[in-house]
Structures are given as C-alpha cells and as structure tokens.
Structure 1
Amino acid sequence: MTSTPRTAPSPAQSPERSVLMDLMALTPSATLGRELLALVVDLALIGAVVLVIQPEMLAIAVMFGVVGMFMAVRLVAGFRTRGYSRELTGGR
C-alpha cells in the first residue's frame, strides 16, 4: 500500500481563518463578504454593549467612531491587498 507524503502548507498562502477570527483580527478577511459580515457584527456588538451599559452620548459616539474607523481602514486595506474590487466585477 502506497500513500502520498503530507507536505506542510506554503508560508506564502494565508491560513484559513474562522468567522470568529475575522471579527477579532487586525487584518482584512479573505473575501469582501466576510469583511462586510465582520463589519455588521462588530457594530451590532457595540450596539448591544451600548444597550446594556447605557453610557453617555459622547461615549457612544466615541465607541461607534473608533470601531467604524477601524473597520473602514480594514475595508480599504482589503481592497488594496486582497483584491475585493475583483469580487465586485465578478472576477476570480
């Protein structure tokens, strides 16, 4: 019986991440859809925190502003490095 030897994945390829890791990662997701899902879920989590602790309006604005800016930077980085624009035109 012969079998093929297992090889380690190439370091040039990015490892597959779970959706949970997409929510917490500093780097953009692999696809535009997952990035948009992460954006919506992160903003919903901040909304849930706001509903629970009911901080002042300034604190709410700061929380949404910080998360929104961070997610916008991730989205722009994804368009530049991951090629999200190809997904919008149907290219693979």
Structure 2
Amino acid sequence: MTSTQPSASSPAPAPAPAPAPERSVLMDLMAFTPSATLGRELLALIANVALIGLLVLVIQPEPLVTAVMLGVVGLFMGVRLVVGFRTQGYARDLTGGR
C-alpha cells in the first residue's frame, strides 16, 4: 500500500518559488526593483536616459546640473541592472537558456 504522506524520515519537498507579478512597461520605467527580463530592463534604461535628455532640452539647466542628473540616473539604472543579473537571471537570457 502506498501512501501520499511523506514519512517522518524523508523531508518534504521545497515549495516552488512564486512567479514574479507581471507589471507594465510604465512600471518598469518607474520601479526601484529590476524588470523581469533583460530586454525590458534595457528598454527602461534607454527610456529613462532619453527622458532626462528631453528634460535637459526643455529646461536647459547649467551643465553641472545636467551632469548630476545624468550621473544619478545612470548610477541608479546601473545598480538596477547589476541587481537584475544577480536576482532575475539576466545571464540566462544572454546564453539562450530558458
């Protein structure tokens, strides 16, 4: 007779991790956490830098202010990209793994 209950000597299998909730591209642009895929993260990086560029064209701040704005956004997006490689598995996307 087979039982479906695990015996006391064998550990129960670990539950599968919950999938990340889907979020829109707009939320990928504004979120503090990395996107689900490398492509969406790169899209967010390019879009954020383009938005800062547009803001610079419209308000025409001093060059130092422009450099600080681009530096802050670039640093933030770079950290998001590194965190995404560590937690979201972006390296699998580069090697063709699924």
Please report the TM-score for the alignment, with normalisation by the length of structure 2. Answer: 0.82
Q: List per-residue Cα deviations over 1:21-68 (Å, max 9, x = no partner).
A: 000000000000000000000000000000000000000000000000
Counterpart of 1:68 in structure 2 is 74
Q: Quick one: which of 75, 80, 83 aligns to 1:77?
A: 83
CA distance in 2, matches of 1:12, 1:89: 24
Q: Which has the larger radius of gyration?
A: 2
Q: Percent identity?
A: 77
Question: 5 Å matches for 1:1-92?
Answer: 12-92=18-98
CA distance in 1, matches of 2:53, 2:38: 23
Moved over 2 A (4+): none
Alpha-carbon RMSD across the aligned residues, in angstroms, is 1.0
CA distance in 1, matches of 2:26, 2:52: 16
Structure 2 unaligned blocks of 5 or more: 1-16
Q: Secondary structure at the match of 1:61?
A: helix
CA distance in 1, matches of 2:71, 2:52: 11
Number of residue pairs matched? 82
Q: Which amino acid counterpart does residue 22 of structure 1 have in structure 2?
A: D
